[in-house]
């Protein structure tokens, strides 16, 4: 089997966009002329997307269906796409057509120039709520600041990767994954291509605030120890403050200057330190929970149906 392009689209209740996604990918890829496949990963949809995907796969040999046993999340669906894709270049796009399939030839052009990772940079975002844009912008910058891998700003999961890169990514079994961080971490020759991120074609976002927060936590904990170091910093800072306070208090006492009367000061100090300790414990817990998940070594996803193999 000799396939040049594998296009992966993770799908969670995208019945409205699916036919249009299929139509536009088919048009673009047929125009392009080289062999291709569309890997549709159904992430536990409940709106009939599953049946639609199976139907498309039956009608057209270009379409490969992977049906999950339940919802495992966007990142895991992308991972399954990597596992099932057979092409020499692997492209990830959103099923809601926010990443227009028409950019695939542009990404491919850079790939042909010799770049192994070609990521799409959101130069403009259309039709998204200001809250989403603001939190996304903040998130990208925070991650950039505190993680060790320099994940390009304003870049989502939409990208083209060479087979070599995907083979490396497939060897990274981590559970709480952040695919765009992973693909930055591996190195290789990388380049960005700006594009205009469109509005959703149909349906609503599958990323409520809770999922965004989870993704942000995955990104931070997978690529940085910074939160753990913050606890150390606070420890040294408050211990240092205490040591400095000792001679001051002795001096004030000896000099007979009335000092620190009342409970307020004590109370504030106790509450502050108690708070810092609990937060540090929580941060530790966050990392330990993840360690525990990794230690269990459960499969990343469960496939219910894959009509092609
Ligand atoms: N998605 C998924 N599983 C999930 C949530 C989302 O496979 O649990 C898919 C979704 O169908 C879409 C892509 O991931 O193809 C991006 O999701 P969405 O467009 O809702 O995110 P947004 O663009 O609003 O950040
Ligand atoms: Mg979207």
Q: How far is the CA of 24 from the centre of ligand 1 (A)?
A: 18
Q: Which ligand is the nearest neighbour of the Cα of 17?
A: 1
For residue 95, give the ligand 1 atom closest to its CA. Answer: 15
- As given in the structure block, the two tokens for residue 148 are 């060790």
Do residues 178 and 222 lie in contact, with contact meaning Cβ atoms separated by under 8 Å?
yes
The predicted pLDDT at position 104 comes to 93
The predicted pLDDT at position 159 comes to 92
The predicted pLDDT at position 261 comes to 66
| Rounded Cα gap, residues 79 and 95, in angstroms | 15
Q: How far is the CA of 96 from the centre of ligand 2 (A)?
A: 5
For residue 77, give the ligand 1 atom closest to its CA. Answer: 7
The dihedral over CA atoms of 35, 172, 188, 152, expressed in degrees to the nearest 10, equals 100
Atom 3 of ligand 1, nearest CA residue? 74
The predicted pLDDT at position 218 comes to 86
Question: Model's pTM, two decimal places?
Answer: 0.83
The predicted pLDDT at position 103 comes to 92
Q: How far is the CA of 200 from the centre of ligand 2 (A)?
A: 6
The predicted pLDDT at position 306 comes to 81
* Length of the chain in terms of residues written: 309
In this structure, the residues whose C-beta lies within 6 A of any atom of ligand 1 are 10-12, 14, 43, 71, 73-74, 77, 94-96, 98, 205-207
Dihedrals phi, psi of 38, to nearest 5 degrees: -115, 115
pLDDT in tens, the chain (309 residues): 688 999 999 999 999 899 999 999 999 998 888 999 999 999 999 999 999 999 999 999 899 999 999 999 999 999 999 999 999 999 999 999 888 999 999 999 999 999 999 999 887 777 677 887 788 888 888 888 888 788 888 788 899 999 999 999 999 988 888 888 898 889 899 998 988 888 888 878 887 788 888 888 888 888 888 888 888 888 888 888 888 888 888 888 888 887 666 677 778 878 888 888 888 898 899 899 999 999 998 999 999 988 876
Q: How far is the CA of 232 from the centre of ligand 1 (A)?
A: 37
Q: Which ligand is the nearest neighbour of the Cα of 43?
A: 1
Q: Which ligand is the nearest neighbour of the Cα of 157?
A: 1
Instruction: Give the containing element (helix H, strand E) for 267.
Output: helix 264-296
Atom 25 of ligand 1, nearest CA residue? 207
Atom 24 of ligand 1, nearest CA residue? 205
Q: How far is the CA of 70 from the centre of ligand 1 (A)?
A: 15
The residue whose CB lies within 8 Å of the most ligand 1 atoms, and thus the one to mutate among 12, 133, 200, is: 12
Could you please report the per-residue DSSP string of 114-160?
T-SEEEEEEEEE-S--HHHHHHHHHHHHHHHHHSSS-PPTTEEEEEE
Atom 14 of ligand 1, nearest CA residue? 74
The predicted pLDDT at position 260 comes to 64
Q: How far is the CA of 282 from the centre of ligand 2 (A)?
A: 31
Atom 13 of ligand 1, nearest CA residue? 94
């Amino acid at each position: 089997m000799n396939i040049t392009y594998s296009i992966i689209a993770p799908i969670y209740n995208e019945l409205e966009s699916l036919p249009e996604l299929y139509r536009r990918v088919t048009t673009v890829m047929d125009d392009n002329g080289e062999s291709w496949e569309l890997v549709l990963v159904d992430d536990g949809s409940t709106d009939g997307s599953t049946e639609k995907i199976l139907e498309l796969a039956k009608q057209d040999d270009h379409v490969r269906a992977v049906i999950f046993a339940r919802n495992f999340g966007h990142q895991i669906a992308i991972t399954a796409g990597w596992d099932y894709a057979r092409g020499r270049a692997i492209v990830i796009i959103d099923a809601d057509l926010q990443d227009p399939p028409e950019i695939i030839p542009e990404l491919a052009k850079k790939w042909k120039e010799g770049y192994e990772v070609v990521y799409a940079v959101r130069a403009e975002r259309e039709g998204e709520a200001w809250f989403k844009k603001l939190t996304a912008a903040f998130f990208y910058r925070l991650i950039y600041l505190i993680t060790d891998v320099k994940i390009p700003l304003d870049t989502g999961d939409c990208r083209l990767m060479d087979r070599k890169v995907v083979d490396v990514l497939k060897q990274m079994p981590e559970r709480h994954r952040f695919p765009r961080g992973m693909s930055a971490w591996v190195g290789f020759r990388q380049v960005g291509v700006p594009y205009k991120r469109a509005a959703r074609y149909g349906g609503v976002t599958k990323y409520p605030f809770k999922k965004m927060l989870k993704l942000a936590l995955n990104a931070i904990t997978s690529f940085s120890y910074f939160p753990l170091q913050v606890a150390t910093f606070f420890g040294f800072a408050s211990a240092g403050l205490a040591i400095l306070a000792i001679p001051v208090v002795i001096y004030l006492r000896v000099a007979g200057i009335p000092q620190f009367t009342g409970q307020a000061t004590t109370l504030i100090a106790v509450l502050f330190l108690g708070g810092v300790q609990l937060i540090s414990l929580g941060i530790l817990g966050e990392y330990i929970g993840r360690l525990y998940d990794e230690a269990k070594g459960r499969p990343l996803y469960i496939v219910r149906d894959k009509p092609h193999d």
